[in-house]
Amino acid sequence: MAEIKEACGVVGMYGPEGENVAPSLYYGLTALQHRGQEACGMAVSRTDRERGNVCFHKDLGLVSEVLTKEVLEKMDGNIGLGHVRYSTTGASVAENAQPLVLSYIKGTLALAHNGNLINTPQLKWELIQNGAIFHTTTDSEVIAFHIARERVHSATVEEAVYKTALKIKGGYALVIMSPRKLIGVRDPHGLKPLCLGKREETYVFASESCALEAGYAAWRGGHDFRRGDSFADAAERRKVCALYFRVHLFCQTGQRHGRGAGVRCQNPCGENARKILSRGGGSGDGRAGVGA
């Protein structure tokens, strides 16, 4: 049994009505403890305050050991994410604990990652040539740096995440927090799990449904992001985004681009893309699930 490991676990929550999500994140991480026992952490922020007000804590150890009562009392935010880790890339040291929190010209970016990339060396070398300095030995930091770099040249954080997802290769599930938005992403083949739930007006991303149940959230769209996932109103779309990258993408005009076509949407979160998804057009295995 000593050799058996599960996988890292991620959870994210956004409460538009201002509730403190830190306690629910704690219970969600506890429910995901079986997916990683080496390290854990949490980051929360207030969307109604100035950008950059992120409070985070992470360290080696179990959820109950790292996120103690004293730590949780200092955590206050209506948007946040958490992570439980076992090392697949990078050593088992405190520096590699997640979530990763970056400060850059556009504000702050927090990321929780489950999975592995197969093109990390190429992506990392590209960043090093442009002067990047790494503080961890994980591929998660490479993803975060690419999102931050793309964000500088993108109109929205969703677009930056989309551009980055086109670069990275492997099996992964990501939960990403910007100062005002929460984004969930799965790899094109759906190798790593990520489900979406809702509790009243609060949205929840999690690696497994047990984390949703721990936070009293109901599933939305079943176990995983499914075709047709979208959000009911513009306020929801601005705050929560679910990107489910499949082998076929749909551009704004509704034109379908097949596997390996190398063509991407000008605006993957555009209104036409949402209409295509909401009516379930196209084939069952071709989808870019967008909800922001």
Is residue 8 flagged as an active site residue?
Answer: yes
- Torsion angles phi and psi, residue 125, rounded to 5: -65, -35
Match 């681009």 to its residue by tokens: 257
d(CA 143, CA 148): 9
Q: Which of 8, 40, 241, 269 is catalytic?
A: 8
The burial class, CB within 10 Å (0-12 / 13-18 / 19+), for 3 is: exposed
Q: In degrees, to the nearest 5, what angle opens at C-alpha 124 toward C-alphas 225 and 56?
A: 60
Neighbours of 37 (CB within 10 A): 16
Neighbours of 43 (CB within 10 A): 28
The catalytic residue positions are 8
